[in-house]
Amino acid sequence: MTKACLQSLYEQDLKTTILAIDNGSTDGCSQYLRSTGVELITYPRPIGLSRLWNNFLSMAFDHLGLPYVLMVNNDTVLRPDTMRWLVADGGPFVTGIGVSSMEQTRTTDATNRRPHPDYSCWLMRREVWDKIGGFDESMVIYSSDNDYHVRMHQAGIDAHCIGVPFYHVASGTIKHIDNDSRDAIQKQADADRETFRKKYGCLPGTPEYEALFQKGGAN
């Protein structure tokens, strides 16, 4: 998955600097990434996704002063024009739309928008980081994306998905790990969802969650 994702990033038709994050991999991925010469951040042991995102975003915006970043999961394959479309959209937080086959990525309609972003391929501008801050690390690997969307909405920041499809291997991580690791991830996911429920009184994907986006804000 990582090889296919990285190749699609190299093929972007907008000048792009690629930085890979190796989150404590043990399957040879780290060695492969080093062999490609890509800029690489390595964690010797896995850390939570929310913390990983925050570490990278802080480096990108607070230290490097970048105007925007594109965060991409390694179980995705992007069209060559994906970054160009997301940048051109101009939104403060804009994402592509995940699809289940390469065939579905053939056609695009960047004018087609929907309000809920897809956190497998998302572009954030520095203004969002400055206003909202980081992801809630009390939700270690799940639900902090939903929390971030709610917080953006409450702050009046438009976050949307446009009709630029990318291939996404659904649950790519879960499908390629051992049973013990899978059980640990699922246990943490349940704990993260409970943290979200305590914070908002509902769970992501429910009518009550959708109602959060009807109360003021931009979306």
The token pair that represents 64 in the structure block: 């490097």
- pTM of the predicted model as reported, rounded to 2 decimal places: 0.92
DSSP string for 44-92: SS---HHHHHHHHHIIIIIIS--SEEEEE-TTEE--TTHHHHHHHH--S
Residue 122 has a pLDDT of: 98
Q: Tell me the residue range of the domain where 52 lies.
A: 2-214
* CATH number of the domain bearing residue 38: 3.90.550.10
Residue 140 forms part of a structural domain: yes
CA atoms within 13 A on the CB side of 170: 5
The token pair that represents 130 in the structure block: 């400055």
Residue 182 forms part of a structural domain: yes
Measured distance CA(161)–CA(118) in Å, rounded: 7
The token pair that represents 186 in the structure block: 């699922």
Phi and psi for 39 in degrees, rounded to 5?
A: -60, 135
Residue 118 forms part of a structural domain: yes
Measured distance CA(108)–CA(153) in Å, rounded: 26
At 2-25, the pLDDT tens digits run: 999 999 999 999 999 999 999 999
At 185-202, the pLDDT tens digits run: 899 999 999 999 999 999
Residue 218 has a pLDDT of: 44
Residue 188 has a pLDDT of: 95
Residue 181 has a pLDDT of: 76
First to last CA, the chain: 33
Residue 219 forms part of a structural domain: no
Please, are residues 201 and 208 in contact by the beta-carbon 8 Å criterion?
yes
List, for the chain, all residue ranges whose pLDDT scores fall below the cut of 70: 170-177, 215-219
Measured distance CA(175)–CA(183) in Å, rounded: 12
DSSP string for 147-164: HHHHHHHHTT--EEEEEE
* Tally of structural domains, the chain: 1
Residue 177 has a pLDDT of: 67
Residue 116 has a pLDDT of: 87
Residue reference for tokens 């979306």 = 219
Residue 78 forms part of a structural domain: yes
| Helix 2-10, helix 29-36: angle, nearest 10 | 20
Total residues belonging to the chain: 219
The token pair that represents 30 in the structure block: 């780290």
